[in-house]
Amino acid sequence: MAGRKSCEKTKKLSEENTMGIDFSKIGILVNSLLEKRNFDERVEKEREKMANLNIINIGKTGVGKSTIINAVFCKDLAKTGIGKPVTQHCHAYSIPDSPITIYDSKGIETGKDNTAILGEIYDKIKNQNSSPNTNGYIHICWYCVLDDGNRLDENEVEIIKKIKIIIPVIIVITQSVGGNKTNEFINEIKKDFNNNYIDIIPVMAVPKIEESDFGQMNIKTHGLDKLVERSYDLLPESVQKTFAAYQNTSVQLKSKYAVTATVFYSGAVAIAALQPAPIADAPIMIAIQIGMMANITACFGIRSSNFNFKTVLSGVGGPFAAAVVGRTFVSLLKLIPVLGTIAGGAINATTGAVITFAIGSLYIKVLSSLIKGNGKINEAEIIDALNKAAKNINMDEMKKEWEENKDNYSKSESQRILEEAKRDI
């Protein structure tokens, strides 16, 4: 008899009173928060927190400098023009909707004495990097040379050596066919640098058909991933997140920061649950989760101009959250010894954090699989994929993952997130 009674109690809890959250009300709560706050602005704000990144791209006209930038950042820069001159032989343009500026050399030509131009470009880097205005600081140099069997000019070697003293340099061998000829070229370059360490990365940014003695050769794209990974490693920590978000070669790099954010936001829920007046109701947890999704969106470099965050949130608010919370209960009810805590309506720190961690993990998974090469993403696809993923989520696994990550959250950052969420509700 007693057993049946407790069984009934459990059933009632899991259906109606899951930590004081009524499933049917989740959608209403999400929508009321969306009415109050402009969360598109939140994505914008998260983007604005990312530091300015400046890259200088030097090389002779026609080697493929613009093509490399287009391929790494997936932008059709032809449409955005060549930028504005900053010196006679150096132009600057922004990667649209991002804090990234590309400095692009102009007028270095094959078969010409380029010494004066190279000197002017070097002076530009030196001046900008010693200026008190750190916004113009140039963080890395991609020095582009064509894989055409020619050697580096002597003055090119000299300027690379000088720039390398100020900032990291990667020699990018452009339109690279690969094979013996490329390897010989790489060895020549190493000799030019007296076998001192120098980064050299052969790249084919866009597929190419080459005529050879054996007929046509289709050369696939290659090397962009190495260029992106090595650049990331060489960049100062302060701008790594910016680079990770806006490059479109490595989804793993984008996810890295999104995973960290998920841990911090889940930590914020854990802190909230431990406070004297625990979050007996869902709004603050939902506000934290919406903030987390805005942050993850920014980590993926997704722009507000081609993405409506509110559409995604209103599309997933009800069914998605209900599915995750519902699954949590089926799964975690077994693990929580004192049912009374839940009956009382207070969110258990672990449970709240696990739910948040699960939502963040699902959103990252969905964005990783849907983000297109051009950085564009479709809201309807996201909603559909999230709702499907929520139905299949394994909460025991999520709990395990959270347990493994929970010591990595920054208390101060999670506290800040919590304060921000309190202002939202």
Ligand X SMILES: Nc1nc2c(ncn2[C@@H]2O[C@H](COP(=O)(O)OP(=O)(O)O)[C@@H](O)[C@H]2O)c(=O)[nH]1
The residue ranges that bind ligand X (CB under 6 A) are 59, 61-67, 174-175, 204-206, 208
Residue nearest to ligand X (CB): 64
111: left (phi over 0), alpha (psi -120 to 50) or beta: left
Q: How far, in Å, CA of 323 to CA of 92, rounded?
A: 48
Q: Are 19 and 275 in contact (CB under 8 A)?
A: no
**Contact flag: residue 128 with Mg ion (CB under 5 A):** no
Out of ligand X, Mg ion, none, which partner does residue 33 contact, by CB within 5 to 8 A per kind? none
Q: How many CA atoms lie within 13 A of 160 on its CB side?
A: 26
Among ligand X, Mg ion, none, residue 61 binds (CB under 5-8 Å by kind): ligand X
Give me the count of residues in the chain.
Answer: 425
The yes or no reply on residue 57 touching Mg ion (CB under 5 A) is no
Residue among 62 and 85 whose Cβ is closer to ligand X:
62
**405 lies in the site for Mg ion, by CB under 5 A:** no
Toward ligand X, which CB reaches closer, 208 or 365? Answer: 208
Least Cβ distance, residue 146 to ligand X (angstroms) = 9
- Tell me how far apart the alpha carbons of residues 330 and 84 are, in angstroms, rounded to a whole number: 60
Q: What distance separates the 2 farthest-apart alpha carbons in the chain?
A: 97
Q: Which of 66, 105, 128, 405 is close enough to bind Mg ion by CB under 5 A?
A: 66
Q: Counting beta carbons within 10 angstroms of the beta carbon of residue 21, is it exposed (0 to 12), middle (13 to 18) or buried (19 or more)?
A: buried
- Rounded to the nearest 5°, which phi and psi values hold at 247? -70, 150
Q: Which one, 40 or 147, has the nearer CB to ligand X?
A: 147
Q: Which is nearer to Mg ion, 18 or 66 (CB)?
A: 66
Task: For the CB of residue 111, give the shortest distance to ligand X in the complex, in Å.
Answer: 15
Q: Report the nearest approach of Mg ion to the CB of residue 65 (Å).
A: 5
> Minimum CB separation from ligand X for residue 110, in Å?
11
When CB distances are held under 5 to 8 angstroms depending on the partner's kind, the choice from Mg ion, ligand X, none that residue 368 binds is none
SS3 174: strand
Compare residues 205 and 382 and give the one whose CB is closer to ligand X.
205
Beta-bridge partner residues of 144:
59, 172
